[in-house]
Amino acid sequence: MSDHQQRRTSPPSGHSGDALPPVEQHAQQYETVRNAHETELIEDYVELIGDLIRHRGEARAADIANRMAVSQATVSKMIRRLNELGLVTSKPYRSLFLTEEGQKMAETSRARHDIVLHFLRALGVDDSTARIDAEGMEHHVSDKTLTIMQRFTEQQIK
Amino acid sequence: MSDHQQRRTSPPSGHSGDALPPVEQHAQQYETVRNAHETELIEDYVELIGDLIRHRGEARAADIANRMAVSQATVSKMIRRLNELGLVTSKPYRSLFLTEEGQKMAETSRARHDIVLHFLRALGVDDSTARIDAEGMEHHVSDKTLTIMQRFTEQQIK
DNA sequence: GATAATTGTTAGCCAAGGCTAAACTGTTTG
DNA sequence: CAAACAGTTTAGCCTTGGCTAACAATTATC
Ligand SMILES: [Mn+2]
Ligand SMILES: [Mn+2]
Ligand SMILES: [Mn+2]
Ligand SMILES: [Mn+2]
């Protein structure tokens, strides 16, 4: 008698929940998430730099490190990357500036972040929870959903 | 005349938008996101393995690779990690099983995933967009927000 | 203006999560 | 039952994004 298991057992007929999506669609879900992960940290840096400039007049590495709860070395390394990507300009030991492209990204990210944050609040989530959730969710919300969120928030306010 | 810039310039008085949150709160936003990133891939694997077992009777590495759009080598390596974490059991060249702990995680992840997906649909997002957004958002939605989403979905259905 | 404190950089380490190429095992088929 | 095929594993490579420790530059203080 063989100890091999059958290669394809039939699904236990009475299983609950939705069916699995077709392979291609399922694959696209994960791919989209992986792509978002590649850009999200960049976006958060650029957005924060923009916010610091707007609210404080300048963006310094030490402030970024404090606000992100990350070492200064990590920030320094990331700034080099942002530089290479053409998003910020920086001279050694001086504060940071956004390039045209960086400003555009900062603006877009901030707008999206705000929509998600305001949506969560309109939904009834308390401010500090909303801020935490928005920081992560923002990178995974499609433009379509963003539009719907914005409409919802406006409805609630009226 | 010195070419030094002033170290602290005052904020351009007429800046738009919300104020920056206090440093500690701001830091916590980013920390929470970083923590979520450490577990989210693990959760997706475990959840998918659970789904494959439920819907297909077994979970094989090749199926995971196809559904995740990732190489088999990547899956193989990840399975070793899941093993070390005590989430799955596996014999070489055989299909996968979830441990007690793995089953618990699969169940929790699936429940959370479903709440987010159903919420997005209730909000008016089309199915395929909702699926993509939910796959990323789920890992960044707090329990508090999850509860609110669930209530919202139930309201819409009634 | 010398010294102390703060801020920024560099070097070198690590883990996670991708990949390709090559080897190996299990299953199916002629 | 041997060969071909499909599935799995391993080795080795790469990038990202963390860290610490040591050093360098700037700014503040006496
Ligand atoms: Mn943001
Ligand atoms: Mn963010
Ligand atoms: Mn999921
Ligand atoms: Mn997911």
User: How large is the average pLDDT for residues B22-35?
Assistant: 98
Nucleotide closest to residue B38 (CA–C1'): C16
Q: Which residues pair with B97 in a beta bridge?
A: B89
DSSP states along B122-136: HHT--HHHHHHHHHH
Three-state SS string over chain A comes to CCCCCCCCCCCCCCCCCCCCCCHHHHHHHHHHHHHHHHHHHHHHHHHHHHHHHHHHCCECHHHHHHHHCCCHHHHHHHHHHHHHCCCEECCCCCCEEECHHHHHHHHHHHHHHHHHHHHHHHHCCCHHHHHHHHHHHHHHCCHHHHHHHHHHHHHHHC
Q: Is A27 on the interface with B (CB under 8 A)?
A: yes
DSSP category for residue B95:
-
Using N-to-C axis directions, what is the helix angle for B127-137 and A23-56, rounded to 10°? 60
Contacts with A69 from chain B: Cβ below 8 Å: 27-28, 30-31
* Residue B3, pLDDT above cutoff 60: no
Nearest partner of A33 among B44, B143, B121, judged by Cα: B44
> Model confidence over B83-107: pLDDT tens digits?
999 999 999 999 999 999 999 999 9
Strand-pair category, B97-98 with B88-89: antiparallel
Q: Of A65, A72, A24, nearest to A45 (Cα)?
A: A65
Q: Would you tell me which residues 93-112 of chain B have a C-beta closer than 8 angstroms to some C-beta of chain A? A: 94-95, 110
pTM above 0.95, yes or no: no
Rounded to an integer, what distance in angstroms lies between the CA atom of residue B106 and that of residue B44? 8
Contact A125 B137 (CB under 8 A): no
Tell me if B113 sits within 8 A of B47, measured CB to CB: yes
Half-sphere exposure of B49 (CA within 13 A, CB side): 27
CB atoms B28 and A67 under 8 Å? no
Tell me: the pLDDT tens digits for A24-34? 999 999 999 99
Q: What is the pLDDT of residue B13?
A: 56
pLDDT band for position B16 (cuts 50, 70, 90): low
- pLDDT-derived band of residue A4, with 50, 70 and 90 as boundaries? very low
CA terminus-to-terminus distance, chain B? 73
Q: Looking at the predicted structure, is the pLDDT value of residue A6 above 50?
A: no
Q: Report pLDDT digits (tens) over B33-59.
A: 999 999 999 999 999 999 999 999 999
pLDDT for residue A128 is more than 50 = yes
Query: Among A15, A31, A149, whose Cβ lies nearest the Cβ of B55?
Result: A15
**Cβ A27 vs Cβ B66: under 8 Å:** yes
Supply the pLDDT for residue A17.
Answer: 74
> For chain A, what are the domain ranges?
24-157
Give contacts of A23 with chain B, Cβ < 8 Å: 66-67
State CA A106 to chain mean position distance.
Answer: 12
pLDDT class for A23, splitting at 50, 70, 90? very high
Quickly list DSSP for B54-80: HHHS-B-HHHHHHHHT--HHHHHHHHH
- What are the chain A neighbours of B37 within 8 Å (beta carbons)? 37
Alpha-carbon gap, residue A64 to A29, rounded angstroms: 32
Give residues lining strand C (CB < 7 Å): A 4-5, 7, 34, 60-63, 65, 72-73, 75-77, 79-80, 90, 92-93, 95; B 37-38, 41-42, 69-71, 73-74, 77-78, 81, 92-93
pLDDT at B18: 82
Both tokens of A84, joined, read 């290479």
Second CATH level (architecture) for the domain B24-157: Orthogonal Bundle (1.10)
